[in-house]
Amino acid sequence: MSTTSNWAGRTVLVTGAEGFIGSTLVDLLLAQGADVRAFVHYKPYAEKGHLAHLLDDPRVQLLAGDVRDPGRVSDAVEGCDTVFHLAALIGIPYSYDSPGAYVQTNVVGTENVAEACRRHAVRRMVHTSTSEVYGTARTAPIDESHPLQPQSPYSASKIGADMTALSHWHAFELPVTVVRPFNTYGPRQSARAVIPTILAQLHAGAREIKLGSLTPTRDFTYVTDTARGFMAAADCDRALGQVLNLGTGREISIGDLALALIAASGRDAQLVADPSRLRPSGSEVHRLLSDNTRAREWTGWEPQVSLEDGLKQTSEWVAAHLNLFAPDRYQV
């Protein structure tokens, strides 16, 4: 199935719509004619984050709520053709401090979304996984049959969420597909992730870039490519009850990534180890490299933005939005 399906006239729910990937997905869906319900986490103040530019757009309905509330989730899902479930508690370091919160939001929240999709007979639910569920690669590149290894409370909660979603396919024939992005990056990403962390330090004028381990490798995928993968998965019948990796098939070490970011930013800096940014030894994922064959062959999707171009675009965005970052503080 092509990634250029017609979304005109479809009512689509995006949970976690205020987030980095979610807001990018909302923009792409609108560009292809969809009517979007944007489910955002309730806050007692008016800030709408990455959806602020859509507040007066009649094609977007902003719904405040919490995926832990089954009633509110059910109301949001009713009448939707497709549900993209991105809402999650993310960030690995914080999961060491508050693992129970990850279970409640990621596992129970996914159960609530899946049950609402079943109750209201949606055409397709697309559930968001993460490459962190694989842990350190036992074989590379990693395909969808790779063992799941819960090396952090975050990854454990996402494994639980994935299994919850897929159980609804096996038990209830819920039309659900699990997409598993590999280290998405790009404009709008928060400082908790490595690329904006490095860029914020660089554009703030730092001459020493503080990082944790430099040796792990990652497969970085530009955010618009990830969002297109979600849309492609939503219209692929072969992907029902299946998992699709969304990655580039290219890996780079964190150390080499930092050097590439220094070059992309046009700054001059050296790398410095910061022990506070290290994961516990048994929790560090040393290698992630995707095999995206299934997504390419089943849906026609493939990444379009090179790492070099993506890093340049991300650098420009961070430089223009440096007020959103606190370069001198480690954000978990």
The H-or-E segment that residue 270 falls in is strand 270-273
Q: Kindly write down the DSSP assignment for every residue of 163-221, as one continuous string.
A: HHHHHHHHHH---EEEEEE-SEESTT--TTSHHHHHHHHHHTT-SEEEES-S--EE--E
- Residue that has been written with the tokens 């952090």 in this structure: 152
Select from 98, 114, 91 the least CA-distant residue to 15.
Answer: 114
Token pair for residue 270? 């050296």
Q: Kindly write down the DSSP assignment for every residue of 64-120, as one continuous string.
A: EE-TT-HHHHHHHHTT-SEEEE------HHHHHH-HHHHIIIIIIHHHHHHHHHHHT
Residues 6+ apart with CB under 8 A from 213: 254, 278, 279, 284
Select from 218, 120, 85, 108 the least CA-distant residue to 164.
Answer: 108
Please answer whether residues 109 and 83 qualify as being in contact, where contact means their C-beta atoms are separated by less than 8 angstroms. Answer: no
CA dist., res. 308 & res. 257, Å (int)? 10
Q: Output the CA torsion 131→260→276→92 (10° steps).
A: -20
Q: Is residue 154 annotated as part of the catalytic site, yes or no? A: yes
Token pair for residue 118? 């079943």
Q: Which of 102, 154, 185, 222 is catalytic?
A: 154
Residues 6+ apart with CB under 8 A from 293: 143
Task: Tell me how crowded residue 12 is: count the other CB atoms within 10 A of its CB.
Answer: 25
What type of residue sits at position 49? G
Catalytically annotated residues: 154
